[in-house]
Amino acid sequence: MSLRETGRVATVLVIAETALAALTPEWGINEFLLPTANPAEVDTRLRLLSIMESSVPDRPNVITTAGVTIDEANFTARVQRRTLDLTYKEFELLHYLAANPGRVFTREQLLSEVWGTDYFGGTRTVDVHVRRLRAKLGDHEALISTVRGVGYGFARARDAVSDSNGEGEQ
> What CATH number is associated with residue 8?
3.40.50.2300
pLDDT at residue 162, rounded to an integer = 41
pLDDT at residue 59, rounded to an integer = 56
Query: Is residue 169 domain-resident?
Result: no
What range does the domain containing 33 cover? 3-55
When divided into structural domains, the chain yields a total of: 2
pLDDT at residue 7, rounded to an integer = 52
Query: Is residue 143 domain-resident?
Result: yes
Provide the 8-state DSSP code for 69. Answer: E
For residues 93 and 68, membership in a common domain is answered with: yes
Residuewise pLDDT in 10s, the chain (170 residues): 444 454 566 778 888 888 888 877 777 777 888 899 898 888 888 888 777 766 555 556 888 887 889 998 888 999 988 999 999 999 999 999 999 998 999 999 999 999 987 788 888 999 999 999 999 999 999 999 999 989 999 987 655 444 444 444 43
Q: For residue 78, is it left (φ>0), alpha (ψ between -120 and 50) or beta? A: beta
User: Strands 62-65 and 76-79, how do they pair?
Assistant: unpaired
